[in-house]
Amino acid sequence: GAGVSQSPSNKVTEKGKDVELRCDPISGHTALYWYRQSLGQGLEFLIYFQGNSAPDKSGLPSDRFSAERTGGSVSTLTIQRTQQEDSAVYLCASSYGLLESGETQYFGPGTRLLVL
Amino acid sequence: AQSVTQLGSHVSVSEGALVLLRCNYSSSVPPYLFWYVQYPNQGLQLLLKYTTGATLVKGINGFEAEFKKSETSFHLTKPSAHMSDAAEYFCAVTAGTASKLTFGTGTRLQVTL
């Protein structure tokens, strides 16, 4: 079946602009996760959703970052007033249930964000 | 808190040689452990995972890993490397009610002729 999809695959923006990154999870997966992969910081957790709620948003780097999920499906990660240090690959993952139940996270191909 | 340490950011092996990628974890509660592989410009693909039960876990592409609680390790092995195994490998842990993965810094595997 279809895996996790993300769009756009690549995004180049100017410093100070807002960007929206989209994630379509695997159908039926209730949990959705956002991670960031950068050269300096490796793979970092940002936020996760159970349904439309975000029980843990502790990884969001600043208040310029926000995310929402609607209909228990699609999620959007928004970065306002982008900075050069926001340049990274943003990865989305989904799972049928939560990790503590032994579920597996399936990752999308990522969105490569470059802030000039 | 949970953490993972991957020893060796780069590992080079000859084709046909044993692959050993090291991972040690830290967790105050029983962990779930994962190995993911990432090919260039792609997302992460699950190789194998340990949750409970048998400590020797077999995964895709001939990889396996053994959970050793006494050594807090979860090393990844493959008896015979193929050129197609060249990629970056990430060990990850989740524990308790964390509901998120904490990743190691990754090990880039190079396979030479």
Q: Which of A55, A17, A76, A62 is nearest to B97 (CA)?
A: A55
pLDDT tens, residue by residue, A13-31: 999 999 999 999 999 999 9
User: Does the pLDDT value for residue A97 go beyond 80?
Assistant: yes
Cβ contacts of A4 on chain B, cutoff 8 Å: 43
pLDDT at residue B98, rounded to an integer = 75
Cβ-Cβ contacts under 8 Å for A41 (sequence gap 6 or more): A88
Cβ contacts of A59 on chain B, cutoff 8 Å: 100
pLDDT tens, residue by residue, B40-95: 888 899 999 999 889 999 999 999 999 999 999 999 999 999 999 999 999 999 98
Query: Looking at chain A, which runs of residues are DSSP E strands?
Result: 5-7, 10-13, 19-24, 31-38, 42-50, 53-56, 65-69, 75-79, 88-95, 106-107, 111-115
DSSP string, A8-36: -SEEEE-TT--EEEEEEPPTT--EEEEEE
